[in-house]
Amino acid sequence: MMSKIQSIRGMKDVLPDETPIWQWLESKVRNITYRYGYQEMRLPILEPVALFERAVGESTDIVAKEMYNFHDKSGEHITLRPEGTSGCVRAVIENNMCYNKTQRLWYQGPMFRYERPQKGRLRQFTQFGVETFGMSGADIDAELIFMVRDIFRSLGVDQYVRLEINSLGTLPERLEHRQQLVSYFNQHKALLDEDSLRRLETNPLRILDSKNPQMQEMIEVAPRLLNFLGEDSRQHFDELCQLLDAAEIPYIVNPRLVRGLDYYTRTVFEWITDELGSQGTVCGGGRYDGLAELFGSKSLPASGFAIGIERLLLLIQAVGGDKHISNYPDIVVTYENDKQNVEALMLANQLRSKLSHLKILSDCSGNKIKRQHANALKSGCRYIITLNANQKIGLWDLEKNTNALSPLEDIIAYFAH
Positions in the binding site for ligand HAM (CB under 6 A): 83-85, 113, 115, 121-122, 125, 127, 129, 131, 260-261, 281-286, 304-306, 308, 310-311
3-class state of residue 375 by DSSP: helix
Closest distance to ligand HAM from the beta carbon of 90 (Å): 13
Rg (CA), the chain: 27
**Cβ proximity to ligand HAM, 170 vs 372, nearer residue:** 170
d(CA 309, CA 126): 5
Closest distance to ligand HAM from the beta carbon of 120 (Å): 6
**Cβ proximity to ligand HAM, 103 vs 281, nearer residue:** 281
Q: Which residue's Cβ lies closest to ligand HAM?
A: 308
d(CA 373, CA 40): 44
Query: Which pairs count as long-range contacts for 343-350, CB under 8 Å and 24+ apart, including other chains?
Result: 343/387, 343/391, 344/387, 347/385, 347/387, 347/393, 347/408, 350/408
Q: Evaluate whether 282 touches 305 at the Cβ level (below 8 Å).
A: no
Q: How does DSSP classify residue 82?
A: S
**Cβ proximity to ligand HAM, 255 vs 260, nearer residue:** 260
d(CA 249, CA 145): 9
**Cβ proximity to ligand HAM, 240 vs 283, nearer residue:** 283
Closest distance to ligand HAM from the beta carbon of 113 (Å): 5
Burial (CB < 10 A; 0-12, 13-18, 19+), residue 201, is exposed
Closest distance to ligand HAM from the beta carbon of 216 (Å): 22
Closest distance to ligand HAM from the beta carbon of 395 (Å): 47
3-class state of residue 53 by DSSP: helix
3-class state of residue 403 by DSSP: strand
Neighbours of 195 (CB within 10 A): 14
Closest distance to ligand HAM from the beta carbon of 247 (Å): 20
Q: What do you get for the CA distance between the two ends of the chain, in Å?
A: 58
Closest distance to ligand HAM from the beta carbon of 143 (Å): 13
Closest distance to ligand HAM from the beta carbon of 156 (Å): 18
**Cβ proximity to ligand HAM, 104 vs 311, nearer residue:** 311
**Cβ proximity to ligand HAM, 109 vs 260, nearer residue:** 260
Closest distance to ligand HAM from the beta carbon of 222 (Å): 22
d(CA 217, CA 208): 11
The region, left, alpha or beta by phi > 0 then psi within -120 to 50, assigned to residue 90 is alpha
**Cβ proximity to ligand HAM, 91 vs 347, nearer residue:** 91
Q: What are the CA-CA distances from residue 383 to residues 96, 335, 370, 387, 394 (Å)?
A: 55, 14, 15, 13, 10
**Cβ proximity to ligand HAM, 207 vs 218, nearer residue:** 207
- Choose among 138, 151, 160: nearest CA to 108: 151
d(CA 95, CA 100): 13
CB neighbour list of residue 231: distance below 8 Å, 6 or more residues apart: none
- Count CA atoms within 13 Å of residue 341 on its CB side: 9
Closest distance to ligand HAM from the beta carbon of 63 (Å): 12
**Cβ proximity to ligand HAM, 263 vs 383, nearer residue:** 263
Q: Evaluate whether 223 touches 181 at the Cβ level (below 8 Å).
A: yes
**Cβ proximity to ligand HAM, 162 vs 373, nearer residue:** 162
Closest distance to ligand HAM from the beta carbon of 260 (Å): 6
**Cβ proximity to ligand HAM, 264 vs 383, nearer residue:** 264
Angle at 253 between CA 249 and CA 259, to 5 degrees: 105
